[in-house]
Amino acid sequence: MMKAVLAAAIVATSMNVMAEPASGYAGVSLSSLNYEEPGVDIDLSIAPGVFVGAKLNQFVSLEAELVTGADGDVRIYGQNVDVSVNSILNVGAKFTIPTSSQYVTPYARLGISRGELEVKLGYYSSTDSDTSLAYGFGIQSDINDQAFFQIGYQSYYDKDDIAVNGLRGAVAVKF
């Protein structure tokens, strides 16, 4: 019992040393999405998004992002098929890698996404939603003390031979 109490005290003390006051941020993003499945590769329209985050320490932040409204079409066997990503809710952690540069900070994102996809062929329409692992990487740079921008790659959905991914740009304000 004493070892468990001692271990808990050491962990709590080390967490206090590494922790900083949580600082929040909120922003907007634009993602150039691509939809892929076997035999189909569709460049979707630019998808707007909003996100919020809380910086837990210099290495880890928690984030949530909602991306909406990307669509595109493809001809399959002479028929026009419309594909729409109605929404993607992405929740996870952002890991920053401190560098000696004061201008650019690399980051990696890892989390879970819940996406809703709609496919239309003539009068037929089908909507489905599912959950997938989400990941990404990129660079972040401060504009000033109150704002930053990000540019990176994000895989929002990758499951059962279906993938939704693309380039993402974002601007956020700190609070």
* Residue 8 vs residue 155, higher pLDDT: 155
What is the SS3 string spanning 18-75? HCCCCEEEEEEEEEEEEEEECCEEEEEEEEEEEEEEEECCCCEEEEEEEEEEEEEEEE
* Mean pLDDT of the region 61-79: 91
Is 81 within a domain?
yes
pLDDT at position 17: 43
Task: Name the nearest CA neighbour of 51 among 91, 8, 98, 3.
Answer: 91
Q: Which domain holds residue 126?
A: 21-174
Mean pLDDT of the chain: 88
Say yes or no to pLDDT of 55 above 70.
yes
Identify whether 71 is part of a domain.
yes
For the cut 60, the answer to whether the pLDDT of residue 5 exceeds it is no
Report if residue 8 sits inside a domain.
no
Residue 134, amino acid: A
Provide the pLDDT for residue 7. 45
Distance CA 127, CA 3 (A): 54
**pLDDT attached to residue 22:** 55
> Residue 68 belongs to a domain with what CATH number?
2.40.160.20
Amino acid identity for residue 94 in this structure:
K
Q: Is 28 among the domain residues?
A: yes
Tokens read off for 99: 């560098």
**What number is the average pLDDT over the span 42-70?**
95
Residue 12 resides in a domain: no
Q: 3 in a domain, yes or no? A: no
Q: What total number of domains does the chain contain?
A: 1
Any idea which of 7-16, 126-135, 153-162 has the lowest mean pLDDT?
7-16
Q: pLDDT higher for 125 or 18? A: 125
**Most distant CA pair in the chain, distance:** 73
Condensed to tens digits (0 to 9), the pLDDT of residues 6-49 reads 444 444 444 444 555 559 999 999 999 999 989 888 999 999 99
Contact 42, 163 (CB under 8 A): no
- Residue 9 resides in a domain: no
- Taking the C-alpha atoms of residue 159 and residue 166, their distance in angstroms, rounded to an integer, is 15
> Quick check: helix, strand or coil at residue 126?
strand
Which pLDDT score, from 0 to 100, does residue 21 have? 56
Average pLDDT over residues 89-97: 96
CB 53 within 8 A of CB 25: yes
The verdict on residue 42 lying in a domain is yes
Across the range 117-121, mean pLDDT stands at 92
